[in-house]
Amino acid sequence: MPGAQMADENGNPIPPRASITRFIYVEYSGTKMPDIKAVLYNGVSLDFSIVRVKEKTIAVGDQDLNPGNTITAKKGNTLLQINLQPFEGKTMPEAGSKNIIIKSKFAGKLCKFYVTNEKAFATLPRY
């Protein structure tokens, strides 16, 4: 029913839970995908999976709630999506991280890429 809110057995409203899904888009050149070794949020290591994005332009987030958020790879480049999850038994770091590090191996050397902020997108409430 529209406008209804979930309630417990005593009739007290149950607030919706925030659902944080984290992912990072990386643009790269060449045919070989980057060799990502680790992703850290405020020093906390996260488990990750990598997916090569086939499209040149992608819409990020729910377009009804967050219109106009797109990412387009430059000509000759490809996008990569890094999906992040906490390791089993750990919790996801709080939103608003300003210290994100992606560790990658390139030409036999360990490289660090620093991301100084993250962007949050609105989602529908979940119970």
For the record, the structure tokens of 78 come out as 């490809």
DSSP state of 107: T
- Per-residue confidence at 96, pLDDT binned at 50, 70, 90? confident
Q: Mind listing the pLDDT tens digit for each residue in 43-65?
A: 899 999 999 999 999 888 777 87
- Per-residue confidence at 40, pLDDT binned at 50, 70, 90? very high
What global pTM score does this model have?
Answer: 0.77
- Among 12, 106, 123, which Cα is nearest to 65's? 123
Beta strands in 9-125 (DSSP E): 22-29, 35-41, 44-53, 57-59, 70-72, 77-85, 100-106, 109-115
> What domains, with CATH codes, occur in the chain?
22-115 (2.60.40)
Query: Would you state the torsion angle of the CA atoms of residues 64, 56, 97, 117, taken in this order, to the nearest 10 degrees?
Result: -100
Report the alpha-carbon distance of residue 38 to residue 16 in Å, rounded: 32
Mean pLDDT of the chain: 86
Q: Measured between alpha carbons, how far apart are the two ends of the chain, in Å?
A: 15
Report the alpha-carbon distance of residue 50 to residue 47 in Å, rounded: 10
